[in-house]
Amino acid sequence: MIKKSYSLGINFRLGFTPLLSLIRHRSLLKGFVSKEIRGRFAGSMAGMAWTLIHPLALIAVYTFVFSIVLRISVTQEETGTDNFIIFFLAGMLPWLIFSDSLIRATGSLTGNSQLITKVVFPVELLPGSSVVAATITHGIGLALFLGYLALTGHANTHWIFIFPLMLVHLVFTWGLALFLSALCVFIRDVQELVGIVIMVWFFTTPILYPVSFVPEWVREFILYNPMAILILSYRDIVLLHRFYPSDFLILSFIACACFLLGSWFFMRAKPAFGDVL
C-alpha cells in the first residue's frame, strides 16, 4: 500500500513539471520563443509583416465566400452584431491561436532532434515555446481587432474577462501541445493527422456560422466541443458583453485536466526521446 501511494504521488507531480520548468527557465523559454518567431520569417522580405498577411488573406477569402457568395447573415440579437466580418473575426482570431499552436508544437521535438540528442535541457519548453510564439503572432491581430472595436464604441467593462478566458485557452492548448508533441516522437504520422483533425474541428466549431444555423439535434453534440464553448465565450464577452461563470468553470476544469494529462504523458515519455530521435 505504501509503494502504491508513493507511485501515485510521483505521477501526480509529473503533471506540474512543465509548468515548474517554465517558471525556472524563463530566460531559456524567451530565447526559444524569439528564435522561433525570428526563424519563421528569416530571409523573407516582408519579415514579421507575414504575421498579419497570412491571417488577413485567410479572413478575406472566408469573408468573400460566406458574406458575399453564400451571404450568411447574423443578427444583433443573437450575436451582438449584424456585421458578418466582426462576428467572424471574434471567433476566428482565437481559433488561429489554438490551431497554429498545435500545428507548430506537434513537430517541435522532431524538428529539434539534433538539439535534444546533443544538449541536456528541459525539452518540455519546446512545445510551450511554440504555444507562446503562436499566441504572440496571432495575439497581435486580436489586439488590433479589439482596438478597432474600442475605437468604434464597442468596448465594455466585460472585456476584463478576456484575460482569464485567454489564460484558460492557453492552458488547454498547452496540454494538447505537450501530448501531441510527445506522441509525434513515436508516431510521425501524428503531424500529418493533426492538420486533418484541425480542419474538421474548425468546421464543427461555430466560427463561420451562428449556433442557430445548426439543427437542434446536432446542436447538443457541438456544445460538447470545448472549442465551441471557448469561441462562444469570446463572442459573449466581446460582442454581447456578458460573461457566464458556469461556462468558464467548465472550461477551466477541462483545461486543467487536459494540461495535467498532457504533462503526465509527456514526462513519462521523455526518457525515451533520446533513443527514438
Distance between CA atoms of residues 85 and 98, nearest Å: 20
pLDDT of residue 2: 37
Separate counts of helices (H) and strands (E) for the chain:
14, 0
Average pLDDT over residues 49-67: 76
Maximal CA-CA distance, the chain = 67
Q: How far is C-alpha 50 from the chain's CA centre?
A: 19
Could you tell me if 174 and 83 are in contact, meaning their C-beta atoms sit under 8 angstroms apart? no
CA angle 102, 17, 28 (to 5 degrees): 70
User: What domain range includes position 16?
Assistant: 2-276
User: Confidence band (pLDDT; 50, 70, 90) for 48?
Assistant: low
pLDDT of residue 47: 60
- Give the percent of the chain with pLDDT over 90: 53
pLDDT of residue 57: 80
pLDDT of residue 65: 81
Map grid coordinates 467548465 to a residue: 250
Q: How far is C-alpha 114 from the chain's CA centre?
A: 27
pLDDT of residue 206: 93
Average pLDDT over residues 150-165: 93
User: Confidence band (pLDDT; 50, 70, 90) for 215?
Assistant: confident
Cα dihedral 123, 124, 126, 130 in deg (nearest 10) = 180
Angle between helix 190-203 and helix 162-186 axes, rounded to 10 deg: 150
Identify the weakest region by mean pLDDT among 43-47, 105-109, 132-136, 236-240.
Answer: 43-47
Average pLDDT over residues 80-103: 93
> Is the pTM higher than 0.75?
yes
5 pLDDT higher than 50: no
- Structural domain tally of the chain? 1
Tens digits of residue pLDDT in 111-124: 988 888 888 889 99
Identify the weakest region by mean pLDDT among 24-28, 117-121, 194-198, 270-274.
Answer: 117-121
pLDDT of residue 4: 41
Average pLDDT over residues 2-9: 40
49 pLDDT higher than 80: no
